Structure 1
Amino acid sequence: MSDTGETVRQFVASFEQRDADLLGIFFDDAIVFSNHGDPEVRGKENVVQVWKRVFETFAQVRFETIHQAVNGAIVLAEQIHHLALPGRESATTPNMATYEVRNGRIVLWHDYTATASPPAQP
């Protein structure tokens, strides 16, 4: 996982496996994760625990990358998050994510999720 952009692509694709421990292989031990509006989470084990709870709650968790830009260690990713509670249809939410990757591991991850509905597509 030496290529920064490919590391993030593989990380995002791994969400469909619904395995928080699998996500953990992409994290540096000192990762800092922030989801806009929620308290910051520090440390690999703590971030893995966040995603274990998410996978326990939602029947579907899928992140779709629309655009991705890489500049050195920084990756910006425009994404659509697909989340569904058990027995419910998937809700789609626009998201912008920033990742910093060092030595093939994510050390910083900021998620900025849109809180309003996206504009209608022409």
Structure 2
Amino acid sequence: MLSQRADGKMMTAEEIVRAEIAAWGRNDVDEVMSHFAEDATFDIGPDWPKLSGHEAIREMMKVFFAGGNCVDLKVLYLAVDGDVVLMERTDYWLVEGKQMSWPVMGAYEVKDGKITAWREYFYPPKDLGVDGASAPE
């Protein structure tokens, strides 16, 4: 996917991140990955390894989507400073027939129209099957 808008202009960092987030709701690994640079990094906290490179990130995305269906990633707040996008959101998933949600804070770095770094900070629900605190009520 090109990082250009319909008017031919390059997408902004915010537009690229919003497009990547929207792709999650369609459960489309290829579309999600189309927004990442080949040498991108993805750090989702101490319970998972820090990933480097397009293929390593793609494999983790496959694991995520195999574990459940993303229903929506609802953006609550978003701040942009040049090529850095900070996003607070709530993730909504359907996992083994059960609806789940949890708060997330993400930091994205964008260069040349692609996400080059992505860091996530969140509280997964205890019954999601990962270590960490439960989501606040």
Superposed structure 1 runs of 4+ greater than 6 Å apart: none
1-structure distance, mates of 2:69, 2:79: 30
One-letter code aligned to 1:11? E
Task: Structure 1: state its 5+ residue gaps.
Answer: none
Establish whether residue 35 from structure 1 lines up as the match of residue 44 from structure 2.
yes
Per the normalisation by structure 1, the TM-score is 0.90
> Which residue of structure 2 aligns with residue 15 of structure 1?
24
2:16–2:35 CA contact under 8 A, matched in 1: yes
Q: 3-state DSSP class of the match of 1:76? A: strand
Q: Alpha-carbon deviation of 1:3?
A: 0.5
* RMSD, aligned CA: 1.3
Q: Alpha-carbon deviation of 1:59?
A: 2.9
After TM superposition, the structure 1 = structure 2 runs for residues 42-81 of structure 1, keeping only pairs within 5 Å, are: 42-81=52-91
Aligned positions, number: 118
Q: 3-state DSSP class of the match of 1:17? A: coil
**Equivalent of 2:92, from 55, 66, 82?**
82
How much identity, in percent, do the aligned residues show? Answer: 26
Of stretches 1-10 and 98-107 in structure 1, the one that deviates more from structure 2 is: 1-10
After TM superposition, the structure 1 = structure 2 runs for residues 84-99 of structure 1, keeping only pairs within 5 Å, are: 84-88=94-98, 90-99=99-108
Q: Cα deviation per residue 1:53-87 (whole Å; 9 max; x = unaligned)?
A: 11111033531110100000100000111122132
Establish whether residue 26 from structure 1 lines up as the match of residue 9 from structure 2.
no
Q: Alpha-carbon deviation of 1:45?
A: 1.3
Q: Which has the higher contact order (CA 8 A, sep 6+)?
A: 1
Task: Structure 2: state its 5+ residue gaps.
Answer: 4-10, 124-132
Q: Cα deviation per residue 1:6-35 (whole Å; 9 max; x = unaligned)?
A: 111111011011111111110000000010
Per the normalisation by structure 2, the TM-score is 0.81
One-letter code aligned to 1:36? G
